[in-house]
């Protein structure tokens, strides 16, 4: 499929973090099929090699970068290499981890870890690639946040806070960078089929509920990637997937007090919620 982004940026140069799996991989492969030159970054070398092979098979060009997005010096080196040798039109700040637990038990070391990846990784990427975009007269930044950034479910304080920060940063830059012809979009999906909790330090109970939410979702990473690239090309700032994410966001903004009361009620019935998820998952398994 040809995306409008390809017409807007005919040199077709993109950099994607967390490209070795999940949504990052889906985004990379979608752009590869449209002939993009892709700087793909991931902390896991084997996954990076696998996605590069797939990119080449689809007709794209792959430039792999081993990168820990929370390491600002390493990121500065990678961004300099990417900008100097390939260039940049589209930056997708995708790398992220899921985690959770009671705030009172959640260690400061874990806060440093998740903020470093989910929040500072986005800031570093934007900081290092933005000057090149401004100098050449334009570009596009897509930040991958989450519906968690506005729904703020209990037991997920660290994840919620980092994704809220990404939404806030994106909205700030959307207006600030307009005179420089640098566009900004932020994606706020609900749960979809991905490995977001793979590196989680959360309790087995929280991991179990999160994995059930992923497993019972009908939303695939490829569908989310297609929606993001399509709507970013249309110039949309907020990108929701699925439609329920948009409904949830606007409900939280129009009826904030009611939204909070409903969350309080939901917190009292966590066991019932988990049981419903278990039943839904079992039903899906039976259907194959």
pLDDT in tens, 132-154: 999 999 999 999 999 999 999 88
Look-up: residue for tokens 């989310």? Answer: 224
Does the pLDDT of residue 195 top 70, yes or no? no
Residue 279 has a pLDDT of 47
**How far is the C-alpha of 28 from the C-alpha of 151, rounded, in Å?**
28
**Which position has the higher pLDDT, 1 or 255?**
255
SS3 171: helix
**How far is the C-alpha of 84 from the C-alpha of 15, rounded, in Å?**
13
What is the pLDDT averaged over residues 218-226? 89
Question: Which secondary structure element, helix H or strand E, spans residue 90, and what is its range?
Answer: strand 90-93
Length of the chain, please?
Answer: 288
Helices (H) and strands (E) in the chain, counts: 13, 7
Which of 48-57, 173-182, 184-193 shows the lowest per-residue confidence on average (mean pLDDT)?
A: 184-193
pLDDT confidence tier of residue 109, bands split at 50, 70 and 90: very high
Q: Provide the token pair at 51.
A: 């996605």
**How far is the C-alpha of 286 from the C-alpha of 194, rounded, in Å?**
21
Non-local (6+) Cβ contacts of 4 within 8 A are 230, 233, 234
Q: Are 66 and 41 in contact (CB under 8 A)?
A: yes
**How far is the C-alpha of 173 from the C-alpha of 127, rounded, in Å?**
11
Q: Dump pLDDT digits (tens) for 71-84.
A: 999 999 999 999 99
Does the pLDDT of residue 250 top 80, yes or no? yes
Which residues are 282's β-sheet partners?
A: none
Beta-carbon neighbour count of residue 26 at 10 Å? 24
- pTM, two decimals, is 0.88
Per DSSP, helices labelled H in the chain are: 4-8, 22-32, 45-57, 72-85, 108-114, 121-136, 148-151, 157-176, 204-215, 221-233, 243-254, 256-268, 270-287
Which of the residues are catalytic? 159
- Region of residue 12 (phi > 0: left; psi between -120 and 50: alpha; otherwise: beta): left
In the chain, pLDDT over 90 holds for what percent of residues? 70
């Amino acid at each position: 499929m040809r995306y409008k982004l390809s017409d807007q940026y005919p040199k077709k140069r993109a950099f994607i973090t967390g490209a070795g799996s999940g949504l990052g991989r889906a985004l990379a492969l979608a752009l590869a099929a449209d002939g993009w030159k892709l700087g793909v970054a991931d902390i896991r070398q084997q996954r990076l090699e696998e996605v590069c092979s797939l990119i080449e098979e689809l007709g794209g060009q792959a430039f792999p970068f081993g990168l820990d997005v929370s390491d600002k010096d390493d990121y500065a080196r990678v961004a300099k290499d990417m900008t100097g040798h390939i260039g940049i039109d589209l930056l997708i700040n995708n790398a992220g981890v899921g985690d959770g637990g009671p705030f009172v038990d959640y260690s400061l070391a874990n806060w440093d870890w998740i903020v470093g990846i989910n929040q500072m990784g986005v800031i570093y990427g934007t900081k290092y690639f933005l000057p090149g975009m401004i100098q050449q007269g334009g570009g596009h930044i897509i930040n991958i946040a989450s519906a968690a950034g506005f729904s703020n479910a209990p037991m997920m304080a660290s994840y919620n806070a980092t994704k809220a920060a990404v939404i806030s940063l994106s909205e700030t830059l959307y207006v600030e960078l307009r005179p420089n012809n640098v566009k900004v979009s932020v994606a706020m999906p609900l749960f979809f089929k991905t490995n977001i909790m793979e590196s989680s330090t959360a309790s087995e109970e929280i991991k179990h509920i999160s994995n059930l939410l992923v497993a019972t979702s009908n939303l695939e990473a490829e569908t989310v990637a297609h929606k993001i690239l399509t709507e970013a090309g249309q110039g949309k700032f907020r990108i929701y997937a699925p439609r329920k994410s948009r409904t949830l966001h606007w409900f939280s903004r129009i009826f904030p007090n009611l939204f909070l009361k409903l969350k309080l009620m939901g917190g009292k019935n966590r066991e019932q919620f988990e049981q419903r998820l278990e039943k839904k998952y079992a039903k899906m398994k039976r259907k194959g």
